[in-house]
Each structure stands twice: as structure tokens, then as C-alpha cells.
Amino acid sequence: MRVIVVAGLVAAAFTFDGAAYAYKPLSAAPAPPVEWTAPDARSLASDAAVGEARRAYRAACSEHQNAAYCDCTTAGVAQVLMPDEVRIAARTIGERINAEGDAPYAPNSDTPPAAVSTAERIEHVEGFYANACAPYRN
């Protein structure tokens, strides 16, 4: 009879200890931050459409700036803006990028605010890349 009682107490001790261990909080390691990135033009439009718009923008830019600066700004603008917006930007680039490569507005991010017009999106993105690509200016 003693053996059964002792076995029962030992089993109960292990059960309670295991249950207590299971409820102990694990070390609270901070979760890595989740970074949200906006989809780029190539994930939303065909490569052909992006390439065509990119070439048009680069050609328009080269009328106002050197090749290195235009390569830099074209890469960013064509990645962030949709092909239709890039074509509009190409037609109107002289209004925003002067001979020195300055833009009237230089934001801290190439992601434009939500619910803005196409003109505001273009101004925002070009302003960011005009500033980011400044080392490539003449």
C-alpha cells in the first residue's frame, strides 16, 4: 500500500511541476519590426510598359541634365510611379527640374502620401530623387 501512495505522490509532484513549467512565461524577446513596402511599378505593370515609360523619361531628363543624374532619377521615378505617371512626368519635367537639377520640393521618402493627385505624386517622387541623386549633377 505504501508503494502505491508513494508512487502517486511522485507522479503528482511531476505533474504539478510540469504544469507549472508550462505556464512560466518564456523570455520576452522583442518581435522584429515588420516593414511595409509599397509595390513598385514592375509588380503592377508589364516590363514593356515600364521600359517604354522609363526611356521616355530618361530622354526628357537628358535635355535638362547630364546622363549620370538622369540615370539615377529615372531609376527611382520609374520604380515608384506607374508608367502613365512616368510619361506625364516626362512631358512636364522641365517645369520641375531646373538646369541645376533642383526640385521645388524634397520629401524624406519616395512614397507619396495617400490620396493625392497625379501631379502631386510626380512632384513628390521627383523631389525625393532630385535630392537623392544630387551627387550626380553637373
Q: pLDDT tens-digit profile of 12-64? A: 655 555 555 555 555 566 666 656 565 677 677 788 988 999 999 999 999 98
Number of domains in the chain: 1
Q: Are the CB atoms for 86 and 79 separated by under 8 Å?
A: no
Determine the pLDDT at residue 14: 59
Determine the pLDDT at residue 72: 93
Q: Is the residue at 17 inside a domain?
A: no
Determine the pLDDT at residue 54: 93
Tell me the residue range of the domain where 91 lies.
41-136
Q: Is the residue at 118 inside a domain?
A: yes
Q: Is the residue at 25 inside a domain?
A: no
**4 backbone φψ class: left, alpha, beta (φ>0; ψ -120 to 50):** alpha
Cell digits of residue 4: 502505491
Q: pLDDT tens-digit profile of 71-116? A: 999 999 998 899 999 999 999 888 777 655 455 556 667 777 777 8
Q: Is the residue at 63 inside a domain?
A: yes
Q: Is the residue at 102 inside a domain?
A: yes
Q: Are the CB atoms for 125 and 75 separated by under 8 Å?
A: no
Whether pTM > 0.85 for this model: the answer is: no
Q: Is the residue at 23 inside a domain?
A: no
Q: Is the residue at 107 inside a domain?
A: yes
Determine the pLDDT at residue 8: 61
